[in-house]
Chains A and B, each alone.
Chain A
Amino acid sequence: MPPRLGLPAETIARCRRLARDVADAVRRETEPFTTVSTERSILRLLGVDGVDADDVPIPNRVCDALLAAGRLPRGVSLWMGSALARGASSVSEAALRLTDPASAREIEPHPRWREALSPWVDAGVERVRGNRAERERRMARHPEDELPLLYAIVATGNIHEDVLQAAAAARAGAQCIAVIRSTAQSLLDHVPYGATTSGFGGTFATQENFRLMRAALDALEDELGRYVRLVNYCSGLCMPEIAAMGALERLDMMLNDALYGIIFRDINPLRTLIDQRFSRRINAAAGVVINTGEDNYLTTADAVEQAPAVLASQFINESLAKDAGLEPWQIGLGHAFEIDPSREDGLLDEIAQAAAAREIFPDSPLKYMPPTKHMTGNVFRGYQQNALFALTSVATGQSIHLLGMLTEALHTPLMHDRWLAIDQAKTIRANARHLSEEISFAPDGRIVRRGREVLAGAERVLEGVARVGLFEALAGGVFADTKRSREGGRGRDGVVARDPEHVNPFLEELTRTAAAGAPR
């Protein structure tokens, strides 16, 4: 039981109501639209895959042809179903027919398109459900995981090299392996194809790379006596497509923030908020734990000043996630240990913020991010900051602990950088195992006062956002001092007004079956 600050329950409840209002307004404003990326995700869940001779993914070809023909407003499902009803023998063949601009223009809606499409929808849903059941089966074979889960990043750019590094990290004690994406990928309006061996600052997220890493981690399960979770990044212009691919290849966690792409990648707000909903619906059905990205606010702006905005964003992310069908155990809320280490009592502020998050979101896993902003290249001081981070993590009952690297800001981690981080966090986790049960805070002390102050600040931020709505608030620069207008940013041209008859069969099916119940 982590230590409690005794924050006022009525303030927390009011923040949740305000966030609920914000999420409701977002749903009303985004529901009239679909996006090219949402439609491409439907194609992927149907089983459409592959690229053409120019490496353009077939899902892109189909959506582009239908968009050019003015037929995307009714959704890819109608046209795929119609192509199948008119004799296409498989979804691949149906997709190939629709990549041709002339046939995309000329195909007539078939009255029995739903019937023709339905076995392919069922197969997609079955694969997503089957993967979820398999994960639960595998996890049930082993003892409960020790918390916080140790989360390591690999980022060589080459999936085969990543596999080697991931196996080393898992054997050393890492419980989650995240393959960082190539830095440009969030801005690509397509998902690359196949196994990839060159990337910049990371490795491309492709379905084949997902499959390779999944197989490598599964192969370690018997040796380690535990299931190693695989993580990737479900953000950027292809947010729901990555979710679909992750669901098809049994990824366990996805970075999946509602606002991150808007604020930090200048992706169109409308596009992102439409896409986040379907991506989260897929993640909900797949039993994936999402991680939100509030830690990023702290890397660009001051960690003490921004604490209320982080908490406000966590409330909003939680509301949007619940609205998309995610259960509390699936909503990993992000925050970070980013206060200037030279600040007097800065550690107390960190403890206050971490304990407040734990108390306010008792049923959600918390994703705790390491210091990055005040890592100077002094690796010894960096190792010390990471130790304080690990101790705070254990003492306040955090759930997912992203390992801090002593060489942060210098280069992508060397193999022994990662080992040193795992060893440090493991040692501190065991060494301070029951510390959290022994702590109680001075009732009106600095830590409790700071917790209340952050919560009160978050309430003010949420009042402001709820008053004007999320789109206006983003335009006003409420998060991370960054202003984003509703019509600005990348990918706006991929937003399409839906025809009243638009259908997303997966949204219907996954919404129906979402309440399948939560595993541990």
Chain B
Amino acid sequence: MTVRSPDPGRVRAYGDKWNDGAVQVSFTLPLAASARATEAARQYVEKMGLREPYVALAQPIAPEFTFFVVYGRAAHEIDTQTIVAEEVEAAAWSRDDIDAEVSRRFGRRLLVLGCALESDAHSVGIDAIFNPKGFAGDYGLERYSSFDARNLGAQVPVETLVRLARETRADAILVSATVTQNEIHVRHLTDLVDMLEAEGLRDRIALVAGGARIDHRLAKELGFDAGFGPGTTPSRVAAFVLAEATRKNRSGDGDPA
């Protein structure tokens, strides 16, 4: 039998055979390990819609808790042609290209503020984008000659950020939301949008969110211009900042690429 070519109207998980729908799930049930608990896990997975669930591991991890790894087959199909998934449109420009283009379009450096907000004490995300060393071999914004990149660090109050944005006439704000609990990061991000709007700054500033649980759609819903998920390199963010600042500034001549 020959291997089938992809059918964009019918997609299932691929294990080791076309369309086998092979899926692995792992979870803990608040039950002591027993044959009943294993059967409960099997039925739970069946209710997820997986066929022929097979409990590979039933590991007691506490007196009343058991950890399960279960394999099964997901029979659902996805029609990829009907999918709408937003992704930031930013050209894959190099640092040199961006530096040259900023100076050509603006004749000055773009001022970019970055931070994590309020209770978020994690600077790892914003550091990856700002620190000269950057991320995955891609230099950070502080290394760009075309950006005045100011990393304000973690736990910056929304109010402070907005005041700095006004005082410095910032062109862009990058906010990292690394850790989330009870969706608190969403509240801080919307607070920022609200306050920028109240101050009449929103339309002048390219506003970008990033983090492990951020994607472009969520960011747009919250009123940001773009959202970047994990693994984003600084140059992608830089290219977006250039394009968005150009659009907002109208002193340039169109989006890059």
Kindly specify which of A109-117, A410-418, A506-514 makes contact with the partner chain.
A410-418
Residue on B nearest A155 in the bound complex, by CB = B181
Min CB–CB distance B114 → chain A (angstroms): 14
The answer, yes or no, to whether A435 is at the interface (CB within 8 Å) is no
Q: Interface of chain A, helix or strand or loop or mixed?
A: loop
The CA-CA distance from A284 to B76 in the complex, in Å, is 62
Type the 1/0 row for B38-60, where 1 means its CB is closer than 8 Å to any CB of A: 00000000000000000000010
- Interface members, chain B 148-182 (any A CB < 8 Å): 153-155, 178-182
Type the 1/0 row for B88-103, where 1 means its CB is closer than 8 Å to any CB of A: 0000000000000000
* B179, A201: Cβ atoms closer than 8 Å: yes
The answer, yes or no, to whether A301 is at the interface (CB within 8 Å) is yes
Kindly specify which of A164-172, A271-279, A391-399 makes contact with the partner chain.
A164-172
Instruction: Determine the chain B residues whose CB is within 8 A of the CB of A199 once the complex forms.
Output: 181
The answer, yes or no, to whether A8 is at the interface (CB within 8 Å) is no
The CA-CA distance from A377 to B213 in the complex, in Å, is 11
Instruction: Determine the chain A residues whose CB is within 8 A of the CB of B184 once the complex forms.
Output: 200
- Count chain B CB atoms within 10 A of each CB in A172, A201, A372, A376 and give the residue with the most: A201
* B155, A187: Cβ atoms closer than 8 Å: yes
Given the known interface contacts A171-B62, A302-B133, A376-B231, the answer about A411 and B124 at a Cβ–Cβ threshold of 8 Å is no
Residue on B nearest A199 in the bound complex, by CB = B181
Residue on B nearest A410 in the bound complex, by CB = B212
* A200, B182: Cβ atoms closer than 8 Å: yes
The CA-CA distance from A243 to B139 in the complex, in Å, is 41
Instruction: Determine the chain B residues whose CB is within 8 A of the CB of A410 once the complex forms.
Output: 212
Instruction: Determine the chain B residues whose CB is within 8 A of the CB of A167 once the complex forms.
Output: 62
* B131, A300: Cβ atoms closer than 8 Å: yes
Given the known interface contacts A200-B184, A300-B127, the answer about A416 and B26 at a Cβ–Cβ threshold of 8 Å is yes
Instruction: Determine the chain B residues whose CB is within 8 A of the CB of A415 once the complex forms.
Output: 28, 61-62, 65, 67
- Count chain A CB atoms within 10 A of each CB in B62, B180, B182 and give the residue with the most: B62
Given the known interface contacts A183-B119, A377-B212, the answer about A299 and B124 at a Cβ–Cβ threshold of 8 Å is yes
The answer, yes or no, to whether B138 is at the interface (CB within 8 Å) is no
Instruction: Determine the chain B residues whose CB is within 8 A of the CB of A183 once the complex forms.
Output: 119-122, 155, 179
- Interface members, chain A 344-390 (any B CB < 8 Å): 372-373, 376-377
Min CB–CB distance A36 → chain B (angstroms): 21
The answer, yes or no, to whether A266 is at the interface (CB within 8 Å) is yes
The answer, yes or no, to whether A315 is at the interface (CB within 8 Å) is no
The CA-CA distance from A157 to B180 in the complex, in Å, is 12
Find B124's partner among A184, A372, A419 (CB 8 Å cutoff): A372
The answer, yes or no, to whether A265 is at the interface (CB within 8 Å) is yes
Residue on B nearest A299 in the bound complex, by CB = B124
Min CB–CB distance B187 → chain A (angstroms): 10
Type the 1/0 row for A161-202, where 1 means its CB is closer than 8 Å to any CB of B: 000000110011000000000111011000000000011110
The answer, yes or no, to whether A409 is at the interface (CB within 8 Å) is yes
Find A412's partner among B61, B120, B179 (CB 8 Å cutoff): B179
Find A409's partner among B120, B131, B230 (CB 8 Å cutoff): B230
The answer, yes or no, to whether B63 is at the interface (CB within 8 Å) is yes
Given the known interface contacts A301-B131, A419-B61, the answer about A184 and B181 at a Cβ–Cβ threshold of 8 Å is no
* B153, A168: Cβ atoms closer than 8 Å: no
- Count chain B CB atoms within 10 A of each CB in A183, A373, A377 and give the residue with the most: A183
Find A376's partner among B65, B122, B182, B230 (CB 8 Å cutoff): B230
Residue on A nearest B128 in the bound complex, by CB = A373
Instruction: Determine the chain A residues whose CB is within 8 A of the CB of B231 once the complex forms.
Output: 376-377
Instruction: Determine the chain B residues whose CB is within 8 A of the CB of A372 once the complex forms.
Output: 124
The answer, yes or no, to whether B123 is at the interface (CB within 8 Å) is yes
Instruction: Determine the chain A residues whose CB is within 8 A of the CB of B179 once the complex forms.
Output: 183, 201, 411-412
The CA-CA distance from A189 to B212 in the complex, in Å, is 30
* A419, B67: Cβ atoms closer than 8 Å: yes
The answer, yes or no, to whether B118 is at the interface (CB within 8 Å) is yes
Instruction: Determine the chain A residues whose CB is within 8 A of the CB of B230 once the complex forms.
Output: 376-377, 409
Instruction: Determine the chain A residues whose CB is within 8 A of the CB of B153 once the complex forms.
Output: 266
Instruction: Determine the chain A residues whose CB is within 8 A of the CB of B180 once the complex forms.
Output: 411
* B182, A157: Cβ atoms closer than 8 Å: yes
The CA-CA distance from A373 to B127 in the complex, in Å, is 11
- Interface members, chain A 199-239 (any B CB < 8 Å): 199-201
* A182, B119: Cβ atoms closer than 8 Å: yes
Instruction: Determine the chain A residues whose CB is within 8 A of the CB of B119 once the complex forms.
Output: 182-184, 200-201
The CA-CA distance from A399 to B160 in the complex, in Å, is 42
* A265, B155: Cβ atoms closer than 8 Å: yes
- Interface members, chain B 58-85 (any A CB < 8 Å): 59, 61-63, 65, 67
Min CB–CB distance B14 → chain A (angstroms): 18
Instruction: Determine the chain B residues whose CB is within 8 A of the CB of A172 once the complex forms.
Output: 61-62
Instruction: Determine the chain B residues whose CB is within 8 A of the CB of A200 once the complex forms.
Output: 119-120, 181-182, 184
Instruction: Determine the chain B residues whose CB is within 8 A of the CB of A420 once the complex forms.
Output: 67
Min CB–CB distance A342 → chain B (angstroms): 9
Type the 1/0 row for B14-37, where 1 means its CB is closer than 8 Å to any CB of A: 000000000000111000000000
Instruction: Determine the chain B residues whose CB is within 8 A of the CB of A187 once the complex forms.
Output: 155
* B62, A409: Cβ atoms closer than 8 Å: no
The CA-CA distance from A474 to B131 in the complex, in Å, is 19
| CB pairs A–B below 8 angstroms (16 shown) | A157-B181, A167-B62, A168-B62, A183-B120, A183-B122, A184-B119, A184-B121, A200-B182, A265-B155, A299-B124, A302-B133, A409-B124, A409-B230, A410-B212, A411-B179, A411-B180
List 10 A-B pairs, minimum CB-CB distance, nearest first.
A168-B62, A419-B61, A183-B121, A200-B119, A416-B67, A184-B119, A183-B119, A416-B28, A201-B179, A377-B230
Other contacts beyond A172-B62, A183-B121, A412-B181: 12, CB < 8 A: A157-B181, A182-B119, A183-B120, A183-B179, A198-B182, A201-B121, A264-B123, A266-B153, A372-B124, A415-B65, A415-B67, A420-B67
A residues neighboring B (CB under 8 Å): 157, 167-168, 171-172, 182-184, 186-187, 198-201, 264-266, 299-302, 372-373, 376-377, 409-412, 414-416, 419-420, 481
